[in-house]
Amino acid sequence: MRTITAIFVWCLVSMPAFAAGIDALSDEEAVEGLKQALTQSVNAAVDRLGVANGFLENPKVKISLPSALQKVEGVMRTLGASKHADGLIVTMNRVAEVTAADARALMVDAVEKMPVENAKKILASGGDAATQYFRTATSEELAQEFPAIVKNATSQVDLAKKYNDFVRKGGKFGVVAEKYANIEGYVAQKTLDGIYLMMAEEEAIIRQDPMGQDSKVLQKVFGSLK
């Protein structure tokens, strides 16, 4: 009975403290903490992905051929032409790695310019709420910017150009979705997806261990959620 009473008292004390922690933050502090977390998440994602084998050897983000081309890939492998499919896959992932590294400044700038409404609610939502908010707020603009970065990375790669031609032909016959009708569109989207995924993982680390962060702002803002 004493144990139950003790738990009940702890809940009464802790719940107001949790609410008070969030309420004690100013709106400016909440926005600053949110954006610092996103900037750190962008940098962590690029550090992991924007290096040799960052995409290729990470099964969570490794880019495979579009589903519409996987039947063709299967035929190629059956006929002993696996090296062609493998070569295409390696090239796409190499391009994604270069693209991720080149996109760091663009992603950080997107965080800084992103308008934030109700930062406290986003913070209190838990999980990867900050990353998902960033994705919703910026994905359309970034999707327009990324193909140009991808194109620069693939301009001198013959294998990527062959892939581009191959997918483009498939798109004419409705075999490939329109947004995957060229190498820039396909790799750009997959690169962005990978960055968002790694950002979400870094956000989880910040939320789990706010006091382990170097930034005093992150310690205060995310510590208030504990």
Structure tokens of 50? 């924007």
Q: What is the pLDDT of residue 57?
A: 97
Across the range 138-154, mean pLDDT stands at 89
pTM here is 0.82
Which are the contacts of 34, defined by CB distance < 8 A and separation ≥ 6?
116, 119, 122, 123, 130, 133, 221
Q: Please compute the mean of the pLDDT values over residues 133-151 and round it to a whole number.
A: 92
Per-residue DSSP letter, 225 = T
Asked if pLDDT for residue 19 goes beyond 60, the answer is no
Question: Which amino acid, 124?
Answer: A
| Residue 2 in this model has a pLDDT that exceeds 60 | no
The reported pLDDT for the residue numbered 179 is: 63
pLDDT surpasses 80 at 120 = yes
| Residues making up the chain, counted from first to last | 226
Distance separating alpha carbons of residues 223 and 23, to the nearest angstrom: 13
pLDDT by residue (tens digit) across 152-209? 887 756 667 777 766 666 665 555 666 666 777 888 999 999 999 999 999 999 999 9
Burial 179-212, CB ≥16 within 10 A → b, else e: ebbbbbbbbbbbbbebbbbbbbebbeebbeebee
Per the model's pLDDT, the better-predicted residue between 216 and 66 turns out to be: 216
pLDDT at position 200 is 98
pLDDT score for 142: 94
Looking at the chain, the whole-number percentage of residues with pLDDT higher than 70 is 78
Element (H, E) at 211: none
Residue-level pLDDT at 168: 66
**Average pLDDT, integer, range 99-108:** 95
Q: What digits encode the pLDDT tens for the residues 39-93?
A: 999 999 999 999 999 999 999 999 998 876 777 667 667 767 677 778 878 888 9
